[in-house]
Amino acid sequence: MTQRIALITGGMGGLGETISSKMADAGYRVVVTYSRSNKTADKWVAQMKSRGYEFQAYPCDVTDYEDCRACVEQIVRSAGPVDILVNNAGITRDMTFRKMAKADWDAVIHTNLDSVFNMTKQVCDGMTERGWGRIINVSSVNGSKGAFGQTNYAAAKAGMHGFTKSLALEVARKGVTVNTISPGYIGTKMVTAIPKDILEGKIIPQIPVGRLGKPDEVAGLIIYLCSQEAAFVNGANIAINGGQHMQ
């Protein structure tokens, strides 16, 4: 079988780097995108190369439809058609609703939700035409349970799953699955940036497993969803949160 191509948005981030490297270990040809404000992308590619990973990396602002279109066109030209899309890029701008400005709402909705449309639109028709594809949307436990100070983020992450369920219905007969994964608190810089007293005093005590999740554990779930054995998992929202929130 020819090597499948996996495109991971935000593939250099805390979770993204582990997803990218574990997917490469699993035999996929991995292409990553990074944000237009990332000034260390070349360094990252070189560092990963020294660890044995040959990643193609492209700048792409996932909030910008035209940038996504041009980026995927370039990827298809140089690497080939995208078989797997992991919509992983995301940001937080946490604050209470009272303090939240329109710009804080827009930035989070554009980056976490509009991005899913912008990227999926570029690859979905090709997947259905070829009769195989995997689209995996990285949501969050807080999209299911809500979180103080995250009206913007929780709305975007919940919206992502509405998208997943609807697109899953539309493409199911064409060999394409669409799923959401909803990680709880994973030990990446997005989470370790939370003040220590809140992390240790409030967040970890809510996690029955008693620790943060590991990026490897999230990558393992994504690799499973990409597999042939996961062909019957479609339109699901898979929680990976140490038991913090059960639906």
Exactly one of 28, 34, 58, 153 is catalytic; which is it?
153
Query: Rule CB under 6 A: is residue 88 a binding residue for ligand NDP?
Result: yes
Query: Rule CB under 6 A: is residue 56 a binding residue for ligand NDP?
Result: no
Size of the residue set binding ligand NDP (CB under 6 A)? 29
Query: Rule CB under 6 A: is residue 90 a binding residue for ligand NDP?
Result: yes
Q: For the window 6-35, what string marks contact with ligand NDP as x by the rule CB under 6 A?
A: ---xx-xxxxx-----------------xx
Which amino acid is residue 78, in one-letter code?
Answer: S
Query: Rule CB under 6 A: is residue 183 a binding residue for ligand NDP?
Result: yes
Q: How far apart are CA 132 and CA 193, in angstroms?
A: 38
In Å, how far are 30, 32, 36, 124, 178 from 40, measured between CA atoms?
A: 19, 14, 11, 30, 31
Closest by CA position to 132, among listed 169, 178, 167: 178
Which amino acid is residue 109, in one-letter code?
Answer: I
Query: Rule CB under 6 A: is residue 160 a binding residue for ligand NDP?
Result: no
Minimum Å gap between C-beta 53 and ligand NDP is 16
Tokens (6 digits) for 43:
């360094």
Query: Rule CB under 6 A: is residue 150 a binding residue for ligand NDP?
Result: no
Q: Please, what is the angle between helix 115-130 and helix 151-171, to 10°?
A: 10
Q: Is 58 a catalytic residue?
A: no
Among 150, 151, 188, 234, binds ligand NDP (CB under 6 A): 188
